[in-house]
């Protein structure tokens, strides 16, 4: 039964791709748009084949390679001047990497190594492809939350997470303000809002515990 389903998926996707190629050629031969739905259609039988066999790691690896090849193809055909596929290629590889690492992918060491490698990768891309603006600060800010959140979640230290997270966010806004529009000091507005996070955490967590402890003492007395 599974073989019939996989065979139907392969034949169905192949027929659909051929149909789209013909329609593309007849209606707009100057623009090859059939690549986009063809890629999605290819994922149907491929995913069905690997998932039915329980080969999730192999599925992730194969789809990752297929997706990167697809992006390279689109990049080469339509935008050969700038290799924009590099921006997406490295993050995509973390899907099979995480699966092959297994339980190690849940560790703090893996999160730290992963975030540092992503920061280094985008910093190199920034310096090599578009050094006129330090846009690497944006993925750097985003990816630093990975090990940060994992560490404080395991420590169950919500207040510490709010303090460090607020400091990171404040530093991010200051840097963005300095490199984007130093003539206008606008960072103070989001910084003011961010400060309410640790304040709210302190008063709604620690103060609540203090009140509970006081009530317990009164009950004992």
> Which position has the higher pLDDT, 219 or 70?
70
pTM assigned to the model: 0.82
- The C-alpha angle 108, 114, 117, rounded to 5 degrees, equals 140
Residue 70 lies in a domain: no
Mean pLDDT for 47-74 is 92
Among residues of the chain, what percentage have pLDDT more than 90?
A: 69
> Which position has the higher pLDDT, 184 or 218?
184
Residue 161 lies in a domain: yes
Residue 23 lies in a domain: no
Mean pLDDT for 61-82 is 92
Residue 202 lies in a domain: yes
Residue 103 lies in a domain: no
pLDDT at 32: 86
pLDDT classification of 117: cutoffs 50, 70, 90: very high
pLDDT classification of 79: cutoffs 50, 70, 90: confident
pLDDT digits (tens, 9 = 90+) for 136-192: 999 999 999 999 999 999 998 888 999 999 999 999 999 999 999 999 999 999 999
Given the structure tokens 């190690």, which residue do they identify? Answer: 104
The CA distance from 53 to 37, in Å, is: 25
pLDDT at 6: 77
Q: Which of 57-66, 185-194, 201-210 has the lowest mean pLDDT?
A: 201-210
Decide if pLDDT at 1 tops 60: no
Q: Which of 43-47, 109-113, 126-130 has the lowest mean pLDDT?
A: 43-47
Mean pLDDT for 77-90 is 92
Burial of 16 per CB tally in 10 Å (0-12, 13-18, 19+): middle
Under the phi-then-psi rule, with left for phi > 0, alpha for psi from -120 to 50, and beta for the rest, what region is 54?
left
pLDDT at 31: 87
Q: Which domain holds residue 166?
A: 157-220
Query: How far, CA to CA in Å, does 190 sit from each of 47, 182, 185, 214?
Result: 44, 16, 11, 36
Query: How far, CA to CA in Å, does 139 sit from each of 41, 64, 115, 136, 167?
Result: 31, 21, 10, 6, 17
Decide if pLDDT at 131 tops 60: yes
The CA distance from 71 to 68, in Å, is: 5
pLDDT at 216: 65
pLDDT classification of 220: cutoffs 50, 70, 90: low
Residue 132 lies in a domain: no
The CA distance from 116 to 98, in Å, is: 15
Structural domain count of the chain: 1
pLDDT at 219: 64
Residue 49 lies in a domain: no
Mean pLDDT for 61-81 is 92
Residue 198 lies in a domain: yes
């Amino acid at each position: 039964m599974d073989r019939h389903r996989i065979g139907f998926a392969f034949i169905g996707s192949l027929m659909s791709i051929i149909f789209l190629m013909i329609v593309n050629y007849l209606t707009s031969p100057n623009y090859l748009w059939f690549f986009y739905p063809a890629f999605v259609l290819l994922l149907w039988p491929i995913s069905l084949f690997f998932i039915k066999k329980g080969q999730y790691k192999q599925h992730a690896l194969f789809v990752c390679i297929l997706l990167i090849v697809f992006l390279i193809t689109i990049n080469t055909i339509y935008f050969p001047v700038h290799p924009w596929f590099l921006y997406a290629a490295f993050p995509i590889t973390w899907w099979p990497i995480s699966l092959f690492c297994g339980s190690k992918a849940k560790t703090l060491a893996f999160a730290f190594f992963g975030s540092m490698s992503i920061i280094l990768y985008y910093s190199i891309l920034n310096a090599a492809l578009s050094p006129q603006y330090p846009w690497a600060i944006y993925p750097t800010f985003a990816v630093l939350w990975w090990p940060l959140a994992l560490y404080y979640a395991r420590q169950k230290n919500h207040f510490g997470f709010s303090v460090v997270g607020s400091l990171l966010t404040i530093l991010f806004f200051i840097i963005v303000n300095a490199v984007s529009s130093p003539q206008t000091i606008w960072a103070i507005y989001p910084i003011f809002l961010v400060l309410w996070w640790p304040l709210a955490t302190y008063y709604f967590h620690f103060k609540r515990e203090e009140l509970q402890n006081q009530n317990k003492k009164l009950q004992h007395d």
